[in-house]
Amino acid sequence: MSPPLLGVGEEDQSNVTLLASPASIDSLCRNSSELKERNYMGLSDCSSVDSSGVSMVSDGNKSSLNLKATELRLGLPGCQSPERDPERCLLSSAQLDEKPLFPLHPLKDGQYPSSQKAVGSGSKRGFSDAMDGFTKEKYLAKSEVAPMLSPRPSSNLGLKTEPTNAKEVAPSKIVQERPRAANEPRPNHNGSANGNSSAPATKAQVVGWPPIRSFRKNSLASTSKNNDEVEGKAVPGAIFVKVSMDGAPYLRKVDLKNYSKYQELSSALEKMFSCFTIGQYGSHGTLGREMLSESKLKDLLHGSEYVLTYEDKDGDWMLVGDVPWEMFIETCKRMRIMKSSDAIGLAPRAVEKCRNRN
């Protein structure tokens, strides 16, 4: 079947290293000049987010990163291109939104290393779509969250922009412009004239097509993803665990066998749950439909951080990331993304327990 909608399978193509365990921090520091850090370690010190939102600067010993490398570009070549300008305001608010959803691993003494930076830009792009005032794109935004969440855009950082990202972004653009283009012919996408399907990446989205109810469309996203996990794998070997997030309306399930390291798991979870983070803060006004103001976004960023925890076979709640991956998937019964304020005190126990085990 096709690659899962939420782009889990695209992890491999990304040259973004995702922080997951303490062991990799050092290697990350070393590699930082080439790689973009995705901050899953709860590090962000987002005070450095400036209002233009275009560039994020690392603090601390990551000074080897140059500004250019940290400049986040979502898709189309540079913000200089006139085409991109209407998108800029979306971009900047999207980029503010780079605070990681849940740090995997606060430092033992409760402090967060300030050295890493939040670089989750690709994933956040989808929120700006979701927050768009054009609610008729709402369902598209949701289904577009998938490609937008793909790490591919962020792989542009410091590199030339790839055309594929232009195509990823273009569809949403076309759709967003649709309401203004009442006189334009409706024909949707590149391939339609020939009647043949062109490469999916170049397909433009048509609002309300194919004619399935939004409800079903959204369910499809999770169905096809989950079944991609199941298909082609020995089902008995699958390890499904429930993942809940404080404040999110429903649970998700993940197959731990799908991942081989923490960073894959955490980025997949971030994608799954990212929409809820915005949603709940959007309850100031309408639920996530209106464009969140910059200040509201900043509140979000400075607000609570999340921690990923799991319940092990003994019934204890521990922080994810402490133990080697293999041990983790064997002992994890279910996971919970909780506010970091609730998670304080878990760390020492986790480490102790690990010591006791080994």
For the chain, percent helix, then strand, then coil, each to nearest 5? 50, 10, 40
Beta carbon of residue 218, minimum distance to other proteins (angstroms, whole number): 10
- Nearer of residues 33 and 219 to other proteins, judged by Cβ: 219
Q: Could you tell me where the beta strands, DSSP code E, fall in the chain?
A: 17-18, 37-38, 240-245, 252-255, 306-312, 317-319, 332-339
Which tokens go with 275? 């929409």
Buried b / exposed e along 76-113 (16+ C-beta atoms within 10 A): bbebeeeebeebeebbbbbbbbbbbbbbbbbeeeeebb
Using the minimum distance from each CB to other proteins, give the nearer residue, 103 or 288.
288
> Nearer to other proteins by C-beta: 210 or 315?
210
Rank residues 95 and 188 by Cβ distance to other proteins and give the closer one: 188
SS3 label, residue 342 = helix
Q: Which residues bind other proteins (CB under 8 A)?
A: 1-3, 5, 135-140, 143-144, 146-147, 171, 179-183, 186-189, 191-193, 195-197, 200, 203-217, 219-224, 226-227, 230-231, 235-236, 238, 240, 249-251, 253, 287
- Residue 22's Cβ-side half-sphere holds a number of Cα atoms within 13 Å equal to 12
111 vs 227 by CB, closer to other proteins: 227
φ, ψ (nearest 5 deg) of residue 314: -85, -5
Count other Cβ atoms within 10 Å, centred on residue 144. 22
Nearer to other proteins, 42 or 171 (CB): 171
Pairing of strands 37-38, 17-18: parallel
CB 73 → other proteins: shortest distance, Å?
23
| Rounded least distance, CB 13 to other proteins, Å | 15
Which residue bears the tokens 């109810």?
Answer: 213
Cis ω before 179 (30° cut-off from 0): no
Q: How far is the CB of 207 from other proteins (least distance, A)?
A: 6
Query: Which CB sits closer to other proteins, 6 or 157?
Result: 6
Q: How far is the CB of 291 from other proteins (least distance, A)?
A: 14
Spatial distance between the Cα atoms of 334 and 308, rounded to a whole number of angstroms? 11
Nearest distance in Å: CB 104, other proteins: 25
Looking at the Cβ atoms of 17 and 198, the one nearer to other proteins is: 198
Q: How far is the CB of 176 from other proteins (least distance, A)?
A: 11
Minimum Å gap between C-beta 135 and other proteins is 5
Distance CA 282, CA 332 (A): 32
